[in-house]
């Protein structure tokens, strides 16, 4: 601790003023000879002002964990500050984050008397972190622009970082703040003086632009540049834009933003679509979604979410396992998964549901021990986001131990898309699952943009091919050639192949001729309640 005083003395030979600051309390820190800290005067008094700076470089430095610079014009003088975030090791061993302000006095400049007044106005109207308009100032400026140009059509746009809470978990608050500052800098760089922009709240940014000045291709480029603020093999951010074409300039600004937000909600689950326009009917959808979110926790606790099983079988109908699929039995009616899964994903609640499904599947396998059904396995789905909320291998191992089952009985399905997006990280997770004895399946192979290099780098056990790969009349023959080659390749890689989505005997026969002998689809059975599956499976096994 006391070493910092020596550093400050050395820096005073270079800078006119040095100060160590706790930016949360806006107080200068003084390190005592015994290593303790004493809180001194408010740091803005060092700057000879009456309140905290809205563009405080020290605050930004700590919040982004990066050095920051700023220039101040006070009483006609120019002062430059270089703020460096540092950790002080306290006497009890704890680390205290603070900032080292290195200040140079650069002499008088023209201006002067109104500087303090102008700065006070800036403080009250600009966000401390991003230096963009605050919500209150943003609303006033949007209204001013609409009144000043009543004859022109305008667009209200809201930008949002997809799954920003997850970004903060992965990179910490300072990492998330760096991204927010980066987006603010992009807005300053790309927006013109005719456009109004600011930070609405959290990770949401707003831009008001004249419709005839809006270039969707250019904005797509801006969104992709914003996504490039994170260069990491672990996770890539996605910045999306909701657009509302203002049809009534007298509508409250908050309502306009609600419409832009509804457009955003429509694409929040999409990894490809970055821009969406508001359409009538979105408000009704939002209300339905809100009901689902409000009911979710109680439904989870009440056991309303239940697993249904879809058999996996050979061509002759022999059942050897099943995939667990969730259904919501809501007041006696089964809610289709498409009605709630997307909503839960957007609300970051899907991981809670997945954990419930995994537990039900493991408990079911435990119940089958010592019965004729003991030979069967159950496959569970793991969403890509689950890996960021759980240590999936450890959690699944714990469930298997709790219910006394072998890990190879609980198979793990990971979508092809998740594996392709982050090969290095997913490869490590697959290795951990293998080490624990789990069988890992690639789900929906062929549904998206498949990557053969992924098969080379990630050693999974089962390839689940989506039947949609060969549906449709166009290029059917070429699709069959490719599918046959994929089945043959999987065999040479010692991978089992299951084709899902089979609906007809002809499809089963054709796939069997290609070398596939395991199937899942409506031809054999729809997903059915556990009790019904157990009856079917017992009857099936008795025939063997």
Q: Which residue has the tokens 């890689």?
A: 493
Which domain range does residue 363 map to?
287-542
CA torsion sign for 172, 173, 174, 177 is positive
Q: Please check whether residues 341 and 408 belong to one and the same domain.
A: yes
Q: What is the CATH number of the domain that holds 155?
A: 3.30.70.270
Residues 6+ apart with CB under 8 A from 444: 415, 416, 417, 464, 466
Cβ–Cβ under 8 Å, residues 28 and 20: yes
Tens digit of each residue's pLDDT (9 = 90 or more) over 306-357: 999 999 999 999 999 999 999 999 888 998 898 898 888 877 889 999 999 9
Q: Please check whether residues 26 and 109 belong to one and the same domain.
A: yes
Q: Please check whether residues 83 and 197 belong to one and the same domain.
A: no
Q: Is the pLDDT of residue 118 over 70?
A: no
Q: Please check whether residues 21 and 133 belong to one and the same domain.
A: no
Query: In DSSP terms, which residues pair with 519 in a beta bridge?
Result: 313, 499
As for how many domains the chain has, the answer is 3
Residue 123 in any domain: the answer is no
Cα–Cα dist 28/17, whole Å: 12
CB atoms inside a 10 Å sphere around CB 513: 10
Q: Please check whether residues 160 and 258 belong to one and the same domain.
A: yes
Q: Please check whether residues 240 and 170 belong to one and the same domain.
A: yes
Residue 244 is inside which H or E element, if any? strand 239-245
Q: What is the CATH number of the domain that holds 487?
A: 3.20.20.450
Cα–Cα dist 442/459, whole Å: 10
Q: Please check whether residues 235 and 303 belong to one and the same domain.
A: no
Q: Is the pLDDT of residue 122 over 90?
A: no
Least confident of 143-152, 220-229, 465-474, 507-516: 465-474
Q: Is the pLDDT of residue 507 over 50?
A: yes
Q: Please check whether residues 262 and 305 belong to one and the same domain.
A: no
Q: Please check whether residues 335 and 369 belong to one and the same domain.
A: yes
Q: Please check whether residues 103 and 232 belong to one and the same domain.
A: no
CB atoms inside a 10 Å sphere around CB 440: 21
Q: Please check whether residues 275 and 296 belong to one and the same domain.
A: no
Q: Which of 93, 118, 143 finishes a domain?
A: 118
Residue 310 in any domain: the answer is yes
> How far is CA 372 from its chain centroid?
43
Residue 317 in any domain: the answer is yes
Least confident of 33-37, 129-133, 279-283, 399-403: 33-37
Q: Please check whether residues 268 and 313 belong to one and the same domain.
A: no
Cα–Cα dist 189/177, whole Å: 18
What's this model's pTM, rounded to 2 decimal places?
A: 0.61
CB atoms inside a 10 Å sphere around CB 14: 9
Instruction: Give the pLDDT of residue 332.
Output: 87
Residue 230 tokens, joined: 């994170």
């Amino acid at each position: 601790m006391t070493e910092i005083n020596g550093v400050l003395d050395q820096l005073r030979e270079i800078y006119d003023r040095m100060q160590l600051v706790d930016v949360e309390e806006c107080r200068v820190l003084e390190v005592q000879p015994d290593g303790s800290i004493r809180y001194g005067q408010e740091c803005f008094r060092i700057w000879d002002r009456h309140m905290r700076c809205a563009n405080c470089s020290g605050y930004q430095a700590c919040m982004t964990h990066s050095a920051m610079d700023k220039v101040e014009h006070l009483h006609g003088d120019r002062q430059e500050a270089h703020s460096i975030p540092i950790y002080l090791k306290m006497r009890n061993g704890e680390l205290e984050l603070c900032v080292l302000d290195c200040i140079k006095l650069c002499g008088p400049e023209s201006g002067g008397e109104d500087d303090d007044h102008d700065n006070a106005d800036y403080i009250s109207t600009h966000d401390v972190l991003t230096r963009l308009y605050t919500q209150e100032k943003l609303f006033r400026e949007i209204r001013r622009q609409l009144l000043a140009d009543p004859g022109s059509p305008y667009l209200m746009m809201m930008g949002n970082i997809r799954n920003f809470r997850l970004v903060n978990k992965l990179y910490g608050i300072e990492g998330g703040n760096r991204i927010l500052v980066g987006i603010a800098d992009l807005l300053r760089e790309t927006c013109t003086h005719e456009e109004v922009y600011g930070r609405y709240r959290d990770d949401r940014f707003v831009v008001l632009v004249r419709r005839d000045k809006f270039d969707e291709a250019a904005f797509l480029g801006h969104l992709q540049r914003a996504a490039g603020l994170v260069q990491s093999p672990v996770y890539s951010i996605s910045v999306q834009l909701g657009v509302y074409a203002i049809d009534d300039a007298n509508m409250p600004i908050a309502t306009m933003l609600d419409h832009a937000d509804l457009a955003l909600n429509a694409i929040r689950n999409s990894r490809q679509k970055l821009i969406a326009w508001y359409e009538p009917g979105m408000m009704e959808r939002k209300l339905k979604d809100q009901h689902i979110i409000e009911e979710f926790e109680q439904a989870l606790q009440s056991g309303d979410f239940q697993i249904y099983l879809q058999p996996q079988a050979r061509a002759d109908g022999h059942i050897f396992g099943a995939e667990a699929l969730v259904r919501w039995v809501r007041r006696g009616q089964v809610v289709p998964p498409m009605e709630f899964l997307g909503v839960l994903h957007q609300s970051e609640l899907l991981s809670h549901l997945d954990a419930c499904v995994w537990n039900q599947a493991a408990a079911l396998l435990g119940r089958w021990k010592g019965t004729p059904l003991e030979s069967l396995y159950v496959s569970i789905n793991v969403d890509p986001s689950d890996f960021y909320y759980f240590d999936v291998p450890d959690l699944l191992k714990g469930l298997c131990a709790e219910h006394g089952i072998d890990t190879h009985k609980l198979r793990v399905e990971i979508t092809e898309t998740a594996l392709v997006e982050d090969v290095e990280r997913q490869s490590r997770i697959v290795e951990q699952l293998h080490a624990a004895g789990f069988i890992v399946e690639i789900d929906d192979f062929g549904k998206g943009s498949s990557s053969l290099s992924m098969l080379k780098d990630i050693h999974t056990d089962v390839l689940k091919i989506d039947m949609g790969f060969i549906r449709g009349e166009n290029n059917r023959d070429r699709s069959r050639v490719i599918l046959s080659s994929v089945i043959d390749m999987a065999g040479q890689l010692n991978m089992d192949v299951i084709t899902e989505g089979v609906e007809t005997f002809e499809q089963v026969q054709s796939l069997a001729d290609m070398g596939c002998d395991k199937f899942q689809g409506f031809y054999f059975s729809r997903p059915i309640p556990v009790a019904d599956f157990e009856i079917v499976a017992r009857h099936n096994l008795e025939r063997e």
